[in-house]
Amino acid sequence: MPRIYLATTNPGKVREFREAAQALSIALDPLPRMAEVPPAIEDGSTFEQNARIKAEYYSRLSPGELVLAEDSGLAVDALNGSPGVHSARYAAVLQSGVALDQNSDDQANNAALIAQLKRLNQDRYTGKYVCVIAMAQDGETLATFTGEAPGELLTVPRGTQGFGYDPLFYFPALGKTFAELPLEQKREHSHRGKAFRQFLNWYGRQPQ
Ligand code: ITT
């Protein structure tokens, strides 16, 4: 079975990618020795730049292997696209005003987002999740794939599944937040599921 290494430190992403690969004839394995190196410096200004940075950096750990990394986040229209590339460290960025390397926990990020939204005092807050997957080998990006999921932001959390901003991310077509969806259903509609399906399409066309 062909193998792809998954380079992410986020357990929520790992769960979703592994569920997506379950029924496929591809082994999606955690990248060995990732914890032994300092984390990649995500200093790009776009999701694509950061996805490339991570995939290229971590692919150097396993010469010759295909490495998948992704950068993702939430963009809220009324907040001019924030938290954007700072989604994982939004609480810390708002507090300090600088883009620290250290991620904040989900609870702190959600509380920070709710506080920002409440200041706007609107009826509806539209936004989207974005995910860019980058595939790299030996420090070079081979391809990138983007998926987006449009939705609305709540100021009262709903649901216990998923991770990150999912309890606040309401998907009108289903009348539920992403935290109220089982993995399979989230994959069908999510930014990550869409980017992954594009990746599979590309991968299926590669000479094996
Ligand atoms: P890696 O860089 O190691 O992959 P990370 O968590 O630091 O892990 P990102 O820099 O891509 O990853 O930040 C993604 C953040 O965006 C994540 O921590 C959540 O806050 C948010 N996010 C992305 N996709 C999400 C999803 O499907 N559900 C909820 N929140 C999501």
| Closest residue by Cα to residue 33 from 64, 60, 4 | 60
> Cβ distance 136 to 65 under 8 Å?
no
| Binding-site residues, ligand 1, Cβ < 6 A | 8-10, 13, 42, 54, 71-74, 87-88, 103, 109, 129, 162-166, 178, 190, 192
Sorted by where each starts, the structural domains of the chain and their CATH numbers stand as 3-204 (3.90.950.10)
Q: Is the dihedral of CA 163, 169, 172, 173 positive or negative?
A: negative
Note the pLDDT of residue 99: 66
Closest residue to atom 22 of ligand 1, CA basis:
73
Mean pLDDT by 10 residues, the chain (208 residues): 95 96 91 93 96 98 97 98 97 82 90 96 95 98 98 98 98 97 97 97 89
Note the pLDDT of residue 18: 94
Note the pLDDT of residue 50: 98
pTM equals 0.97
Note the pLDDT of residue 203: 95
Beta bridge partners of 73: 130
The CA-based angle 47-49-50, given to 5 degrees, is 65
Q: Is the dihedral of CA 155, 89, 105, 72 positive or negative?
A: positive
Which atom number of ligand 1 is nearest to the Cα of residue 73?
A: 16
Q: In the chain, which residue ranges form alpha helices assigned H by DSSP?
A: 11-21, 47-59, 90-96, 106-120, 183-189, 191-204
Closest residue to atom 18 of ligand 1, CA basis:
88
Annotated catalytic residues are 71
Closest residue to atom 30 of ligand 1, CA basis:
164
Which atom number of ligand 1 is nearest to the Cα of residue 71?
A: 11
CA 85, chain centre distance (Å): 10
Q: Look at residue 101 and give its three-state secondary structure.
A: coil
- How far apart (Å, rounded) are the C-alpha atoms in residues 208 and 203? 9
Burial environment of residue 14 by CB neighbours within 10 A (0 to 12, 13 to 18, 19 or more): middle
Name the strands in the sheet holding 140-153, side by side, starting at the edge strand that comes first in the sequence. 27-30, 3-6, 67-76, 126-137, 140-153, 169-171, 176-177
> Cβ distance 166 to 149 under 8 Å?
no
Which of the 8 DSSP states describes residue 181? S
Count of CA atoms in the C-beta half-sphere (13 A) of 171 = 22
Residue 126 alpha carbon to ligand 1 centre in Å: 19
> Cβ distance 4 to 28 under 8 Å?
yes
Q: Which of 13, 188, 194, when mutated, tests ligand 1's pocket best, judged by the most ligand atoms within 8 Å of its CB?
A: 13
- How far apart (Å, rounded) are the C-alpha atoms in residues 129 and 143? 20
> Cβ distance 72 to 54 under 8 Å?
no
Closest residue to atom 5 of ligand 1, CA basis:
10
